[in-house]
Amino acid sequence: MNSNPYESVAESGLVVERVAPSAVRWAVIGFSLICMPLVLMGGYGFYVDYQYAAALPPGAAHCGNAALGAIFLIFPGAPMFGCVGAAIGYVAAKVVGSESRDAGVRRAGASLDKGDTRSVV
C-alpha cells in the first residue's frame, strides 16, 4: 500500500464497508422525537394554567381541567407515545440496516472497473 495521504481510496484498493445503523440509537431518537413535544406542550399547559389562576380574584374557584390535561400529556401520554416512536425508530433501523447489508457492497478482491458503481468511497 502506498503511504501517499493524497491518494484516492479507489486507487489504493481500500474497501469501505457500509455500517448498519444502530437500532438502539434510532429507538432513542424515535422516543425523543415523539416524547419531547408532548412534554413541552404539557409544560406550556402548566404555564397557561398558572397564568389563568393568577388572573382570578383571590378566593375564586379554579377549574383544574387545564392542569389535568398537562399532567396527562407529561406522565402517561408522553412515555406511551414515545414508546411507539421508539418502536418505529427500531424497526426503521433494522429495515435500513438489512437493506444496506444486501445492497451489493463491494467485497475485497472485487474489480475496480470504471463501470463498477457499487459502494466504493
Tell me which of 6 and 61 has the higher pLDDT.
61
Q: Is residue 43 part of a domain?
A: yes
Least confident of 25-34, 54-63, 108-117: 108-117
Q: Is residue 76 part of a domain?
A: yes
Tell me phi and psi for residue 33, to 5 degrees.
-65, -30
Mean pLDDT over each residue of the chain, to the nearest integer: 81
**How many domains does the structure of the chain reveal?**
1
Q: Is residue 29 part of a domain?
A: yes
Q: Is residue 15 part of a domain?
A: no
Range of the domain at 80: 22-98
The model's pLDDT over 18-44, given as tens digits with 9 standing for 90+, comes to 666 789 999 999 999 999 999 999 999
What percentage of the chain has pLDDT greater than the value 90? 53
Q: Is residue 75 part of a domain?
A: yes
Q: Is residue 91 part of a domain?
A: yes
Q: Is residue 28 part of a domain?
A: yes
Does pTM top 0.85 for this prediction?
no
Query: d(Cα 95, Cα 58) in Å, to the nearest integer?
Result: 59
